């Protein structure tokens, strides 16, 4: 076995001799030598293994606002990385070169959990994000890296579609301080046809995170013209979020651009983002944002009690700050939901590619 192949625990044997992976609801049944749909979990020596432990598709220091997280240590740099493979098959994937990779060449950087934590510290990051592809599929590597980060005082962030079974979900999010969950649509039909997944499983993850964990959660929805942007669907999603998650969960509406297998649709018009924003706020949701566009009016954070702007943003840049060090409005004292720790960071909108090899031996 190569060093990047490690045993996993979430699987069981079937009566016909196959084994079934129990990490996500896809429940891949694997004969000897077969890989799951995510490509990175496979059957080997009569068990299910992860084949990408300690291998990464690349590292970058980003603003935390790019994850996107607007209420988690604003303005600070985060070391972002991913591996390869994904457990969904979204036709509009904006990261398909990584998520659909069948090439081990994509995993060009060898990186141990300790080396990642060391690099993040040396680069002045406050957190490490498991992103680019879904940490659900590289669960063991993400959890080990999160432990190494916590050991040196760094926070951890999962960027995920939330398509994961109950037990691995508990293990993954026990290791995370914050998560951005992709709510791809509010229709089972969309999830089935476009992603071969299920909305119910994702809503279950959102409910779990809100009800049973301290993980700071924000939601992202990529709005695709004529696919998931109808008034009816946006009303239904807003109602569900207000009812089950409450008014404090930030929700980001981001703009689609034609990609991967969905080249037949136009980019999302600014008016669609504005309409979605208006619908969501009409349900009392306090922190609704537009993303991937210059829209300072809908990119800033407003105090829910007095209406003063408490954080100004333009794309990923902070342009104004009117919160106390513990996250209260300077005008009226009302608390802004989120994780705040002193003055905001000053990373700005920069994106800094990083070579892990420059930070010592794995
Ligand atoms: S994690 Fe991968 S192998 Fe396991 S069930 Fe999901 S897609 Fe299949």
The one-digit pLDDT tens for each residue of the chain (362 residues) are 577 899 999 999 999 999 999 999 999 999 998 999 999 999 998 999 999 999 988 899 999 999 999 999 999 999 999 988 899 988 877 776 666 655 555 566 789 999 999 999 999 999 999 998 999 999 999 999 999 999 999 999 999 999 999 999 999 999 999 999 999 999 999 999 999 999 999 999 999 999 999 999 999 999 999 999 999 999 999 999 999 999 999 999 999 888 766 777 888 999 999 999 999 999 999 999 998 788 888 999 999 999 999 999 998 999 999 999 999 999 999 999 999 999 999 999 999 999 988 877 66
Cβ-in-10-Å burial (0-12, 13-18, 19+) of 273 comes to buried
**Residue among 190, 169, 189 at smallest CA distance from 181:** 169
Which of 19, 28, 165 maximizes ligand 1 atoms within 8 Å of its Cβ, making it the mutation to test the pocket?
Answer: 28
Peptide bond before residue 354 is cis, with ω within 30 degrees of 0:
no
Residue 295: the pLDDT is 87
12, 23, 83, 138: residue to mutate for ligand 1 pocket, most atoms within 8 A of CB:
23
Spatial CA neighbour of 338 closest among 181, 206, 218, 188: 218
Q: Which pLDDT belongs to residue 1? A: 55
Q: Are 289 and 70 in contact (CB under 8 A)?
A: yes
| Best of 20, 26, 168, 205 for a ligand 1 pocket test (most atoms within 8 Å of beta carbon) | 26
| 3-state SS, one letter per residue, for the chain | CCCCCEECCCEEECCCCCEEECCCCCCCEECCCCECCCCCEEEECCEEEECCCCEECEEEEEEHHHCCCCCECCCCEEEEEECCCCCCCCCCCCCHHHHCCCCHHHCCEECCHHHHHHHHHHCCCCEEEECCCCCCCCHHHHHHHHHHHHHCCCEEEEEECCCCCHHHHHHHHHCCCEEEEECCCCCHHHHHHHHCCCHHHHHHHHHHHHHHCCCEEEEEEEECCCCCCCHHHHHHHHHHHHHHCCCCCCEEEEECCCECCECCCCCCCHHHHHHHHHHHHCCCCCCEEEECCCCHHHHCEECCCCCCEEEEEECCEEEEECECCCCEECCCCCECCCECCCCCCCCCCCCEEECHHHHCCC
Distance 322 CA to ligand 1 centre (A): 45
pLDDT of residue 213: 98
**Interval between CA 276 and ligand 1 midpoint (Å):** 33
**For position 174, what pLDDT does the model report?**
98
Determine the distance separating the centroid of ligand 1 and the alpha carbon of 173, expressed in angstroms: 18
List ligand 1's pocket residues with C-beta within 6 A: 21, 23-24, 26-28, 36-38, 41, 87, 137
Q: Is the dihedral of CA 71, 146, 130, 347 positive or negative?
A: positive
d(CA 234, ligand 1 centre) in Å: 30
Q: What is the structure's pLDDT at 98?
A: 61
Predicted confidence at residue 206, as pLDDT, reads: 98
**Do the beta carbons of residue 168 and residue 139 sit within 8 Å?**
yes
Give the C-alpha separation, 285 to 304, whole Å.
Answer: 9
223-249 burial string, b = 16+ CB within 10 Å, else e?
bbeebbbeeebbeebbebbbeebeebb
For the CA of 22, the nearest atom of ligand 1? 5
Q: How far, in Å, is the centroid of ligand 1 from the Cα of 13?
A: 15
């Amino acid at each position: 076995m190569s060093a990047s192949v490690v045993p996993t625990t979430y699987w069981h044997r079937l009566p016909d001799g196959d084994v079934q992976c129990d990490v996500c609801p896809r429940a891949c049944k694997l004969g000897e030598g077969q890989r799951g749909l995510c490509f990175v979990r496979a059957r080997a020596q009569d068990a299910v293994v992860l084949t990408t432990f300690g291998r990464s598709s690349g590292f970058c220091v980003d603003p935390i606002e790019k994850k996107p997280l607007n209420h988690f240590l604003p303005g600070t740099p985060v070391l972002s990385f991913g591996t390869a493979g994904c457990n969904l098959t979204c036709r509009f994937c904006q990261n398909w070169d990584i998520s659909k990779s069948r090439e081990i060449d994509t995993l060009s950087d060898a990186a141990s959990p300790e080396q990642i934590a060391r690099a993040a510290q040396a680069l002045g990051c406050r957190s490490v994000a498991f992103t680019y592809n879904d940490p659900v599929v590289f669960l063991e590597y993400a959890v080990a890296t999160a432990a190494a980060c916590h050991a040196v005082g760094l926070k951890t962030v999962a960027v995920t579609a939330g398509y994961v079974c109950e037990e691995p979900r508990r293990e993954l999010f026990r290791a995370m301080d914050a998560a951005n969950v992709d709510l791809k649509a509010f229709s089972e039909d969309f999830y089935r046809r476009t992603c071969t997944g299920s909305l119910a499983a994702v809503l279950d993850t959102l409910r779990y995170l809100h009800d049973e964990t301290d993980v700071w959660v924000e939601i992202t929805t990529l709005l695709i013209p004529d696919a998931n942007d109808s008034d009816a669907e946006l009303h239904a999603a807003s109602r569900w979020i207000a009812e089950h998650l409450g008014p404090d969960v930030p929700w980001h509406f981001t703009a689609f651009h034609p990609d991967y297998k969905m080249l037949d649709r136009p980019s999302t018009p600014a008016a669609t983002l504005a309409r979605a924003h208006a619908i969501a706020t009409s349900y009392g949701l306090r922190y609704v944002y537009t993303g991937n566009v210059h829209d300072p009016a809908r990119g800033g954070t407003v105090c829910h009690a007095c209406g003063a702007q408490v954080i100004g943003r333009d794309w990923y840049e902070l342009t104004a700050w009117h919160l106390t060090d513990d996250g209260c409005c300077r005008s009226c004292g009302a608390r802004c939901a989120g994780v705040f720790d002193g003055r905001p960071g000053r990373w700005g909108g920069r994106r800094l590619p990083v070579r892990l090899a420059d930070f010592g031996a794995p």
